[in-house]
Amino acid sequence: MFLLRHGQSYFNLHYTETRVDPGIEDPELTPLGRAQAQAAALGLAETRLTRIIVSPYMRALQTAEPFLATHDVPVQVMHEVRERTAFVCDIGSPPDRLAVRFPQHDFSHLPACWWHEGTESVAEITVRAASFREMMMAQADSATTLLVSHWAFILAFTGISVGNGQFLEYDPHGPAPSEIVWRP
């Protein structure tokens, strides 16, 4: 499968410069983040995809948008692949607000508060990632699935830290990560 970290968000822009949480709930992509999403879509334009799984955060949904122009595949919004809740940016938007902003996607299955309330532990995100791994191992199309997600979730899933807008090919049938270094 292919794993893509969302493009640069306004949180990433400010936090990278200051290492202080700027207090932006569910931030959108910066112009650089949009360019990173477009570059990733171009990088995978010739890749056969059968579906896209995307986190319901604005930054992930915006990162997935360029792929809809190059791949006519179903999109599945899954809150299970969301970011680890550790900053204000990890407070999401309610499903009704997302449905207005992204009418091409179905959000009706999401709870009103689909993000974790409070700080999510490393153990909790590790369990979520392991559960997702089990689900993907059972899917016949795991090799042709694109996941648009977040730094901490991809790290918990693979043991690999990826930058904004970076993607990697990953086999969920391979060994699970043994030791993960958690450095945001």
* pLDDT one-digit tens code per residue, 24-37: 999 999 999 999 99
Topology of domain 2-169, CATH:
Rossmann fold (3.40.50)
What pLDDT digit, counting tens, does each position of 125-176 carry? 999 999 999 999 999 999 999 999 999 999 999 999 999 999 999 999 988 7
Q: Quick one: DSSP state of residue 143?
A: G
Instruction: Give the Cα separation of 38 and 8 in Å (integer).
Output: 12
What does pTM read for this prediction? 0.95
Residue with tokens 């968000």: 9
Please tell me the number of Cα atoms within 13 Å of 7 on its side-chain side. Answer: 21
The mean per-residue pLDDT over the stretch 50-77 comes to 96
Residue 123 sits at φ, ψ, to 5 deg, of: -60, -40
Comparing C-alpha atoms, which of 32, 45, 36, 31 is closest to residue 73?
A: 45
